[in-house]
Amino acid sequence: MTFISNQIIDGAIDAIINARDFCGDEKQAVRDLCADENVQDWQKVWRIANFRGNAKWNAFKQQAGVNPKYIF
């Protein structure tokens, strides 16, 4: 099992949020980040960051006043 730093996870969360803002490929953004940081297990990073990214994205939607039925 490999250790993945919080810095990598935070970077992946930011990559996911940016990809969503620009309708990009979230998985590819995480893959690119992992390649840049020399992290082999991009799927593990994806699973962790996607979960946390969803929470952050939903918080943004709440702050923006989105109808709660559209917030998962």
For tokens 């082999």, what's the residue? 40
- Report yes or no on 39 lying in a domain: yes
Q: What residue numbers bound the domain in which 53 lies? A: 6-22+31-64
For residues 41-47, average pLDDT: 95
Please determine, for residue 2, whether its predicted confidence score (pLDDT) is greater than 90. Answer: no
Q: What is the pLDDT of residues 23-36, one digit of tens each?
A: 999 999 999 999 99
- Report yes or no on 56 lying in a domain: yes
Nearest to 14 by CA among 32, 31, 29, 35: 29
DSSP string, the chain: -----HHHHHHHHHHHHHHHHTT--HHHHHHHHHHHHT-S-HHHHHHHHHHHHHHHHHHHHHHTT--GGG--
- Report yes or no on 42 lying in a domain: yes
Q: What is the pLDDT of residues 45-69, one digit of tens each?
A: 999 999 999 999 999 999 999 998 8
Residue 1's pLDDT band (cuts 50, 70, 90): low
pTM for the structure as a whole: 0.88
